[in-house]
Amino acid sequence: MSAAPSPSASPRVLIADDDPTCVLILEHVLEALGRDFDVTDDGESAWQAWEQTRHPLVMLDIEMPGIDGLEVCRRIRAADPLRETFIIIVTGRDRAADLEEVLDAGADDYVTKPLNGQHLIARLRIAQRHMASDAARRAAEEEVRNARWVAGIAETNVTLQHEINNPLTGLLATAELMLLEAREKGQPTEELTVIIDQARRIVELVKKMRTLRDPKSVPYAGSSRMIDLKDSH
């Protein structure tokens, strides 16, 4: 695997092609666009490189030693259900059936050989716009999911406060009366004291829930998570 010599703020691009001429053209184009890149010359190495780095843009030759570009494309798609990687297939085939197979494998775009520098630059700029648009869409969807989650927490919070407070108030009052009577009669009070202490703990918990403004989850057991009430404010 080789890499571009100069650093760049942009995410790395993965080139997978066993044709030195095609690789040279792709490298020149990416350098002109200021993009860093990694290069592999067979399908298995391409798959391993993507697994390690998760390149957001991959350019795959359709015919390579070992597994071909279409199989690499399928593997990436299977491991990337959100389609965060933009895949361009480089192919010498231009029949309709061949191009349909490229898209069926999960590719976002394709370019045909022989490669043309200006055409490649145009396709890569279009790919960059698509990637930026998809990233913005995913960010917006995540914000909506978070907003719905927070709204759901707020609704659950109000419901629990109402459903817990009413019976809890009655329970605590009854237990305190029983404690007073037990003390007056000289009867044991340990069990009633435990009940009252635990009820008061629940009261404090409900108070924390009432002041919860920015709920955060923390690990609980196994893969489960729970709302963190220790940092409630």
3-state secondary structure of 220: coil
| pTM for the full predicted model | 0.60
Stretch 125-152: mean pLDDT: 80
Question: What is the helix, strand, coil percentage profile of the chain, to 5?
Answer: 55, 15, 30
What integer pLDDT is reported at residue 5 of this predicted model?
38
Which string of b and e fits 121-145 if b means at least 16 CB within 10 Å? eebbeebbeebeebeeeeeeeeeee
Residue 231: pLDDT band by 50, 70, 90 thresholds? Answer: low
Residue bearing tokens 């009252």: 196
Residue 1: pLDDT band by 50, 70, 90 thresholds? Answer: very low
Domain identity same for 100 and 15: yes
> pLDDT: is 111 or 153 the higher one?
111
How many domains does the structure of the chain reveal? 2
Range of 204's domain? 151-227
Residue 140 lies in a domain: no
Domain identity same for 95 and 22: yes
> pLDDT: is 149 or 168 the higher one?
168
The total of other beta-carbon atoms located within 10 Å of residue 166's CB is 10
Residue 26 lies in a domain: yes
What integer pLDDT is reported at residue 4 of this predicted model?
41
The share of the chain scoring above pLDDT 70, in percent, equals 87
Encode pLDDT of 54-79 as tens digits: 999 999 999 898 899 999 999 999 99
Residue 44 lies in a domain: yes
Report yes or no: 10 and 34 within 8 Å, Cβ to Cβ: yes
**CATH code of the domain containing 39:** 3.40.50.2300
Strands (E), the chain: 2-3, 13-16, 37-40, 57-61, 86-91, 109-112, 217-219, 225-227
Residue 53: pLDDT band by 50, 70, 90 thresholds? Answer: very high
Domain identity same for 8 and 102: yes
Domain ends where: 62, 90, 115? 115
Angle at 76 (CA atoms; ends 72, 78), nearest 5 degrees: 115
